[in-house]
Structure 1
């Protein structure tokens, strides 16, 4: 029996080895099955969302989970083979804050951009292309990089580091991540197509609403606010502003702001800023960081990617549409800029239509004023003049002195009425421009401004072509004299009635201010009156301050127009 024992142990040992090998293979099959299931679940998870930014972050999170990596990132490749966007996973907010800057696409990351093929390393620092980490970046050892392709385009790269347990990434890890990257390319393409379709729907709806608003005759600010709201939704921006140039063309001021009310009224220099570049060139521009292009978003919103789109074409740019996002968000793409540039034409059309509507309204107003002026001149004045002539002829037929005096007084009143109507005709023919008010408008403003201090409205009479014939330097002096005279009237006259008359006659402009107050003091300071006299003498004119027999004060400022 003892001689047969060794032969019985051999089959038993071989069976144990076979069973152990079978168990190992079964465990491998089960592990592979579990990993395939995990990969399938990951593919489904990655493709379950259509928001591009959400899809990109989910891809990184899924990849790190599949290969048990400590850190992961997705780098979006931009122009000139640089990293346009960098989405990290596995770093805490404190660790992110300590990093001086995100990678720019140098070293190993740049190698993957130049040669988009999978790259697997036991230690990052051992590779000759290793560029090192930016200050504050945590140390990392093992590395796995896989490109993500969208059709024939390399969209970006998946970067995975620090496999847990100190192990290295193996071929199976590479195969799993490569498979995930393929599915990710499909998910990214779907998200892009979805966002493109969504933007076009928003664009069509916005264009229709803006056009409808324009046709209803809404104000410019209402239309521009609507444009800004639609652009903010279309571009998924955090802040949208519309800027217009200043009078000197050196700065742009914010007129409309969506997402940051504190920006309204802010000024941006044309030279050296992103909106200024778009305004000067008539072309859209984009930047990865608002802070680097001289345009701060808001005190409440941190600065990130930015874009500026001109309102109009080169040579006829009316303003700039400027957009910005928070840091860490995807920048504005060239296709988005083209769409925004096309839509910005809606705002330019709004401005054109508003200007045309304003000109049409002004022309209609001028035509109405001209018609009224002609009616006053050709009908009303002629009839009043005829009545005055009739009354003058009737004076000789009236024997009673009292009646004759009344008739003459009525004729004088008619003459005064005719003069006032003529003054009104001049005012109708030269309507004040709100942007550049004429002399008449400024005289009216000063007289009306004194009303609140006096407690009554002074009488006002203006004759002649005050707006057209009085040069600007003399007009400025006349306004200063009137301002001083009204100030003295308020402070010293104690009057219950006052009259102001300004007229142009025989190459001279005459200003008369008269009241029924206490009159000129016999003694006291007269520095204000001397000032009025000096203003007249400097212009070759005269100034008279007197107390009429009926009481009060009468000031006459008379200067030549030459």
Structure 2
């Protein structure tokens, strides 16, 4: 029925005692709607006030997003008159593209119908929906743009009248002003939160306070700001796709980490080109190809790039059935991603400078040990050897011999320490010396004793595969056997690349000694070179 037609036999524009009686209710409704700056509270107040003003059994306010690629649609619905059980039976939010809801979205003018079931434009009610007949719909404009539509059904005592329509139009007009103010307040508050969040990420990454996993810092902060079900970081793979490397979620992050976007995906092409991707429903969007897409609904995928360099992608999916992201949220999240990318680049540069400083300091210590300590120890050993040749008493000769042996052992340990200092602490060792040192250091936590490690000869150049792997396996076996013995307080590991095998051939010998069990135990393995 046309919006200007009279309902229930009452001429359009009619006034009377009933209308006069409702003027205070209208004033009260207008004041109540404008009393709160919180957006969602304002919208719910509007629905409540409209149903009281018209004595309707059911009321709803549908928020319209005009920027959808497939056309304007409802993104959120505030209702009155339906309990949770009824809403659960109805199921998903109507999209608003069909029936009278669609008519009001496409043609935002007041619409009044006496009987929905007899109107040819009606598409019926979904399963579980309570029966409805009388209907009135009025658009809510904010700064001359449609923000949403107010729907009222089932007026008690008969169809809606022209007076009902007049009052609702006045209420909707005044509510548009209140909603505009609430939107400004909500947007300002959202911007403040996102700015504070971006500042917190930058501070955390550049101060080093929480930068052990910088990608997790970004993912977790973004998830909280966006009210998302998960915050994940994807990085490019060697095959040309993208893989989730970090995930912040209430559930199990391991179920997300390792998920890949295969090369050739339309989403991937946009992301690699530096364009953000906004998805209304991950589970049904054909562009989404990941196996975890069925768990999520609205999503944002935002490139993390700075200075033309693509670091990765920040994805912020919400749960199935959750409200979609607003244009303001999309804009703020995109700006956050840009700032986070810059912070990641600066943090990486800071960590690089710190690593360089550590390496330079280690090089200085290694040079000091080599140039001063080793040379002095070597000179002391030579002096003792000279004294040993001049000494006549056997006990003095024996004591000096032990001192020389200890000095040689100390020189080997200092050289091992020099080699360890020259290795990057965060990198996996590639040389055999580095791998032996790593095995010994790893065993220290289990044994409670740090093994003393010595190398003789050109271990790295002389020992090749598969002998190197066999030596490491034998070392692990010997250290594991040591862990099963009691009373171990000292462990010595010796790798001798200048050993001579029993048959006279040059070879490699691994010796692992521990003082456990009272008398001590020595495990020896050897291989020809």
- Normalised TM-score (structure 1): 0.73
Q: Secondary structure at the match of 1:85?
A: strand
Distance 2:207 2:438 in 1: 34
Please tell me whether residue 164 in structure 1 is matched to residue 161 in structure 2.
Answer: no
The answer to whether the Cα contact below 8 Å between 1:77 and 1:156 also exists between their aligned partners in 2 is: yes
Structure 1 equivalent of residue 102 of structure 2: 110
Please tell me whether residue 558 in structure 1 is matched to residue 527 in structure 2.
Answer: yes
Distance 1:551 1:110 in 2: 88
Shift of 1:279: 6.5
Distance 1:325 1:514 in 2: 57
Q: Return closer, same or farther for 1:229/1:33 CA change in 2, 3 Å cut-off.
A: farther
The answer to whether the Cα contact below 8 Å between 2:247 and 2:256 also exists between their aligned partners in 1 is: no
Distance 1:371 1:308 in 2: 46
Please tell me whether residue 377 in structure 1 is matched to residue 370 in structure 2.
Answer: yes
Structure 1 equivalent of residue 409 of structure 2: 416
Total equivalences in the alignment: 494
- Normalised TM-score (structure 2): 0.77
Structure 1 equivalent of residue 318 of structure 2: 324
The answer to whether the Cα contact below 8 Å between 1:83 and 1:103 also exists between their aligned partners in 2 is: yes
Q: Return closer, same or farther for 1:278/1:99 CA change in 2, 3 Å cut-off.
A: farther
What pairs up with 1:68-467 in 2 under 5 angstroms?
A: 68-78=55-65, 79=68, 80-105=71-96, 106-165=98-157, 167-214=158-205, 216-220=207-211, 235=226, 237=227, 239=229, 241-243=231-233, 251-252=243-244, 254-257=246-249, 260=250, 262-267=251-256, 269-271=259-261, 282-288=274-280, 305-312=298-305, 316-318=310-312, 320=314, 322=316, 324=318, 330-433=323-426, 439-440=432-433, 442-444=435-437, 446-447=439-440, 458-463=451-456
Q: Return closer, same or farther for 1:127/1:81 CA change in 2, 3 Å cut-off.
A: same
Shift of 1:304: 6.6
Higher relative contact order (CA 8 A, sep 6+): 2
Deviations for 1:451-510, whole angstroms, at most 9, x for unmatched residues?
A: 68878665431356767876675543322111223345566999887532124569x983
Q: Return closer, same or farther for 1:238/1:412 CA change in 2, 3 Å cut-off.
A: closer
Structure 1 equivalent of residue 38 of structure 2: 51
Shift of 1:214: 4.8
Q: Secondary structure at the match of 2:165?
A: helix
Distance 2:484 2:492 in 1: 16
Q: Return closer, same or farther for 1:383/1:51 CA change in 2, 3 Å cut-off.
A: same
Q: Which has the higher helix share?
A: 1
Distance 2:47 2:269 in 1: 36
Where structure 2 has 5 or more consecutive residues not aligned to the other structure, the ranges are: 1-13, 500-505
Deviations for 1:4-43, whole angstroms, at most 9, x for unmatched residues?
A: xxxxxxxxxxxxxxxxxxxxxxx96443222222212211
Where structure 1 has 5 or more consecutive residues not aligned to the other structure, the ranges are: 1-26, 520-549
Q: Which of the two has higher C-alpha Rg?
A: 1
Q: Return closer, same or farther for 1:435/1:172 CA change in 2, 3 Å cut-off.
A: farther
Give the CA RMSD over aligned residues.
Answer: 4.3
The answer to whether the Cα contact below 8 Å between 1:278 and 1:309 also exists between their aligned partners in 2 is: no
The answer to whether the Cα contact below 8 Å between 1:75 and 1:83 also exists between their aligned partners in 2 is: yes
